[in-house]
């Protein structure tokens, strides 16, 4: 799989979700995919889990104490693992527990070297901040982006300023 494919899948899902403007309702996207969202105490350094079991509803578990923007990104990230089929592939980030497959962020994820985590992050960014929507809003600023613009864009898309900065940089708009 490629990063371009992962981004394209995220963009496609954002467009299919309707609305045509930010913010994307990731909870509705998950529901449309037959996934349920559970907020729970997941322990230290765990933002989310994707839980699948043959014949049962797929669940996304998110850290209940995380900020709203963090939960949104985590939900989008776990949707990515599901849509991209990561939970069915062998690897260090997949754990089997009583017949359930649990895909969680492993120790390699924070190092930026786990391809599945990078793909899921790229998908999530594209889902939450579709490039066409970001570009249109940046063009409307009619000038150089400054910190205030990044703050306003992050609020409009309901993502963190860090996520928006990374997305703007990736799209070569910053």
Could you tell me if 104 and 40 are in contact, meaning their C-beta atoms sit under 8 angstroms apart? no
Instruction: Give burial (CB, 10 Å; 0-12/13-18/19+) of 131.
Output: middle
pLDDT tens for 42-94 read: 887 788 888 887 778 889 999 999 999 999 999 999 999 899 987 654 433 33
pTM for this prediction: 0.85
For the chain, the average pLDDT equals: 83
> How confident is the model at residue 103, as a pLDDT?
43
- The CA distance from 72 to 25, in Å, is 9
- The CA distance from 104 to 23, in Å, is 25
Query: In the chain, where are the structural domains located?
Result: 3-128
Q: Does the 3-128 domain belong in CATH 1.10.3470? A: no
According to DSSP, residue 114 is labeled -
pLDDT tens for 97-144 read: 223 334 444 444 444 567 888 999 999 999 999 999 999 999 998 878
Residues 6+ apart with CB under 8 A from 55: none
């Amino acid at each position: 799989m490629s990063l371009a494919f992962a981004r394209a899948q995220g963009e496609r899902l954002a467009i299919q979700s309707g609305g045509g403007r930010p913010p994307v309702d990731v909870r509705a996207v998950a529901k449309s995919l037959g996934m349920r969202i559970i907020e729970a105490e997941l322990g230290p350094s765990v933002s989310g889990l994707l839980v699948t079991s043959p014949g049962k509803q797929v669940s996304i578990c998110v850290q209940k104490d995380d900020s709203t923007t963090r939960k949104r990104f985590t939900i989008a990230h776990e949707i990515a693992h599901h849509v991209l089929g990561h939970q069915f592939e062998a690897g260090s980030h997949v754990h089997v527990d009583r017949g359930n497959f649990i895909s969680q962020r492993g120790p390699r994820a924070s190092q930026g070297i786990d391809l599945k985590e990078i793909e899921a992050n790229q998908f999530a960014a594209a889902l939450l901040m579709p490039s066409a929507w970001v570009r249109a809003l940046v063009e409307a600023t009619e000038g150089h982006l400054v910190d205030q613009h990044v703050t306003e864009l992050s609020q409009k898309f309901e993502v963190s300023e860090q996520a928006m900065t990374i997305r703007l940089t990736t799209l070569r708009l910053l």
